[in-house]
Chains A and B, each alone.
Chain A
Amino acid sequence: MEQGFIALDGVSHRYGGQTAGPDNIVAVADLTLSVNRGEFAAVVGPSGCGKSTLMKLVTGLQFPYAGSVAVAGQKVTQPVKIAGMAFQAPTLLPWRTTLENLLLPLEIVQPHRSQLRRRKAEYVARAERLLASVGLDGFGDKFPWQLSGGMQQRTSLCRALIHEPQLLMLDEPFGALDAFTREELWCVIRDLHATRKITIVLVTHDLREAVFLADRVFVMSARPGRILAERKIELPRPRDLDVTFAPEFQAIVHDLRAHIVSARQ
């Protein structure tokens, strides 16, 4: 496993200007974290701890005022195009069908953008395969508002994967779903990670989710966010949902929970 596929070193970031002041919110301070290639990392922490800032720093939507961020061995100085993103809201475009929504990234990102016309059939086939892999075969013609919340979120995941990124950034992607749908999607993500061997960073406040899915869990402190603890999850893969009821699983969750409680104080 390649070390340090994502490497944050002493990163500090604040919104609203470079100098300290009452209006400036220090989002993260002296954040150091490293994720290996192909690893599934989860970041947990109290709300407002700068988890979303972490997402933006890694994908190159924001740049730190101190420290350095590198992805795939390169310092992040512009948006990282090898990343796909999905959020709590599926953010699908209501005027496009599910399939057209999936193709959106290909209309933006190079080299696909300039090949779109030529390779259209191939891209459509790819999108349909992707939909089938998350259990949505045959839903390509439907509009997003004709899909349930869980199906919309699956579509959003597919959209994040369509340009075959090496890195998938997930910001509380299951936060708005009911418990059963959420566990269903855990399995979808687990299988995507297993088959595609991509690096995934999952930001969440659900500890069970983090422990079930991740190889490694990072606990962040309250703002300004730092990494308080790092925990390797050595539960054997492939993991079944039943593992969430096993005592060793519960023990890890309890242990992490204690860190979060102390982080909130």
Chain B
Amino acid sequence: MNGRDGRSTRFGLAGHGVTGGGIARRLLAAGAELVVHDPDAAALGRAQAAGAIMAGTAGVLAGAGVVVLCGPSPHAPRAASLLSAGTSVVSVADDLDDVRELLGLDVLARRVDATLLVGAAMAPGLSGLLARSLATQVHQVDELHVATHGTAGPACARQHHDSLGRTALGWHDGRWIEPPGGSGRDLVWFPEPIGAHDCYRAAVADPLLLHRAFPGVQRITARVSATRRDRLTARLPMLTPPHPAGDLGAVRVEARGAGPEGERVTVIAGASGPTAELAAAVAAAAALRLAEVGAPAGAHSLADDAVTHLDLLHHATHLGVTVQEFTGVARATHW
């Protein structure tokens, strides 16, 4: 695995859990040299058995060309430290506050001429790539609506749980709105085998990142699927421990707008599969392409114009993502 300068790129990975394991597998399969740090000795052992180099301390990762942050949030302090050392970073963080702070590292990244890719997982991440792809099919995009189902590892499940109990974020007719998490029910039909699930507003980062990438879009929403128990207990600690291996998940992105003749157009794309695998495929594609092709210095989401040359959706399909489109009559609900 050679970088832009033709030299071998060493990758770093912080966090070898369910998603991190999938990222490591893909990077190693691509022939990358990978250094892994995880506070859990068992996880480190698994990484070493898979062919990665163990890093005793997180500081060792700063010597890598590109580091993927895959542990629980917050990622911003570690990303700042790595960027200061001139290392480019790919973060899979989906916590709204963490993503805000990561975007705030833009100035630092530009100063040290490094790249920070923010939200490189299923949502945000694949959701942004699908939105960018859909935007090419609509003459003028007015609305973007993201819905997700499923969680990856335990950290992701906790984040999903917390997000339903916090204030959500949406972009509505030119201004930010902050509805309560768990409100705004909508029944969303995800790609099979997930099918239809009730989805609700939550404190997720997609609207923030999509608004950066598509500043002209009038309405941006993000919802996550949840059960009645999820909503009822969202403000309490998790009553049952999260599934250690994650579960099947899906992402669905709907773009509405106007066609060339002014007619209303709605296009929908999605993907389904083990949530951790979808996230891992996107993060690995981002890290590999960042090392191979490079990207402008600064903090970018995967949906940003500045990184479209990485062609991440295409490369993610080679790493396990199957993109689907909805063919039929999209029946608008109340979004």
A and B interact: no
Q: Which residues of B contact A (CB under 8 A)?
A: none
